[in-house]
């Protein structure tokens, strides 16, 4: 089981949908979150992409010197990047980081944002372009190890004599992650990517996605890894966790929710449509309505695009829910929580000990102290509760 955290380049707060309790996000804060994830033993971090975010490549590069083992899941955007240039960027980052790059292939689902960036393709054409893009990207990087060139002529993208002089450290290329819920997305995942990520839907729905992508991949003679993108709200008790979930959306008003849902409704993303359906376009607001599966809460999606669900509960319950997803074939869990610095610590301290992770073993170098807490009465180490 690999657990990733999240770098909040689009902002951070104690409450969703309001400036109250908002936190200044600057490089020092992003470095704090990245260093926390690195020191705590998270496998890597996802850096979001889009016009609401700082540029992920610049952010990731800036965090390399302040981290040691942390991997960075960074987006490439067909239509915004050209595949050969994206391959050079990936190879450079991979070499300079010592092999810490992971690639997030993003086709985009917000038509207004895409058109603002000069992309006017419809949903089907974007997936065609993405398939051509990632094929060129993969071949250019893979062939760079032998100094070979690559020719390709497609409907949307073409290259002639594409060549990369300096190959990446990872062979044949940094792993490619990808998420999407449409048939076109599943077809692309099955044919070309290394790991398929789903947003947090109930286990039965996730199982159907996994089965479909796995079946399609087998038809190509391939295997694909699987993962999930979730928020987490973990507290010492169930009641405290659900109170924290309610507190997270306690400053929301109807107008803010309606404005957000109207914007999401204009997108042509099947994944976003599925997220919106979980809370009926914002009409479901009580805990009973938003708990769409045991401990899976759709409240985040009232105003946040993309991943809109959170696992809510005490440590043992959340660990058990993660294990349920793992039993479906998922091995990668990309998590986040508000505020991201404190929640990175909270999840690692409360849940990591309950998961099949070699987290402590992966941390290199002697620790100054612990993990054992504060010495009792200047004399003895505290005991760990066995309850």
Percent of the chain topping pLDDT 90: 75
What pLDDT, in 10s, does the model give residues 119-173? Answer: 899 999 999 999 999 999 999 999 999 999 999 999 999 999 999 999 999 999 9
Could you tell me if 119 and 79 are in contact, meaning their C-beta atoms sit under 8 angstroms apart?
A: yes
Which residues are CB-neighbours of 289 under 8 A, at least 6 positions away?
279, 280
The model's pLDDT over 36-49, given as tens digits with 9 standing for 90+, comes to 999 999 999 999 99
Contact 362, 44 (CB under 8 A): no
pLDDT at 285: 74
> What pLDDT is recorded for position 355?
94
pLDDT at position 364:
47
How much is the pTM?
0.93
pLDDT value, residue 275: 81
| Sign, Cα dihedral of 23, 26, 30, 32 | negative
Give the integer Cα–Cα distance in Å for 63 and 65.
Answer: 6
Two tokens, residue 260? 């957000």
Domains (ranges, CATH) in the chain? 2-76+175-360 (3.20.20.30)
Backbone angles phi, psi at 126, to 5 degrees: -65, -40
Least Cα distance to 339 among 30, 2, 57, 3 occurs for 30
Taking 70 as the pLDDT cut, the residues of the chain under it are 358-372, 377-378, 384-387
- DSSP tag of 381: P
Length of the chain equals 387
Peptide bond into 371 cis (omega under 30): yes
């Amino acid at each position: 089981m690999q657990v990733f955290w999240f770098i909040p380049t689009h902002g951070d707060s104690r409450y969703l949908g309001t400036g109250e309790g908002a936190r200044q996000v600057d490089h020092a804060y992003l470095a704090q979150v990245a260093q926390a994830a690195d020191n705590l033993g998270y496998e890597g971090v996802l850096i979001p992409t889009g016009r609401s975010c700082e540029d992920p490549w610049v952010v990731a590069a800036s965090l390399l010197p302040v981290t040691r083992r942390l991997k960075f899941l960074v987006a490439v955007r067909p239509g915004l990047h050209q595949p050969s240039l994206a391959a050079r960027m990936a190879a450079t980052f991979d070499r300079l980081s010592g092999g810490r790059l992971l690639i997030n292939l993003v086709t985009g689902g917000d038509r207004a944002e895409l058109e603002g960036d000069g992309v006017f393709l419809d949903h089907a054409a974007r997936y065609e372009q993405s398939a051509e893009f990632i094929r060129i990207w993969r071949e250019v990087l893979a062939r760079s190890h032998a100094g070979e060139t690559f020719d390709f002529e497609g409907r949307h993208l073409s290259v002639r004599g594409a060549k990369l002089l300096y190959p990446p450290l990872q062979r044949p290329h940094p792993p490619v992650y990808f998420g999407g819920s449409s048939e076109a997305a599943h077809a692309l995942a099955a044919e070309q990517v290394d790991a398929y990520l789903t947003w947090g839907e109930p286990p039965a729905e996730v199982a159907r996605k996994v089965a479909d992508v796995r079946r399609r991949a087998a038809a190509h003679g391939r295997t694909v890894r699987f993962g999930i993108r979730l928020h987490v709200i973990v507290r010492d008790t169930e009641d405290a966790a659900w109170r924290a979930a309610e507190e997270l959306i306690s400053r929301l008003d109807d107008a803010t929710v309606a404005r957000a849902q109207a914007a999401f409704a204009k997108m042509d993303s099947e994944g976003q449509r599925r997220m919106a359906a979980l809370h009926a376009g914002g009409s479901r607001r009580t805990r009973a309505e938003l708990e769409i599966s045991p401990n899976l809460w759709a409240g985040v999606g009232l105003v946040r695009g993309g991943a809109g669900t959170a696992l809510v509960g005490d440590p043992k319950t959340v660990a058990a829910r993660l294990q349920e997803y793992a039993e479906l074939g998922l091995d990668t869990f990309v998590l986040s929580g508000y505020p991201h610095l404190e929640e990175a610590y909270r999840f690692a301290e409360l849940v990591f000990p309950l998961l099949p992770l070699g987290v402590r073993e992966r941390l290199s170098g002697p620790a100054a102290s612990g993990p054992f807490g504060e010495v009792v009465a200047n004399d003895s180490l505290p005991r760990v509760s066995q309850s």
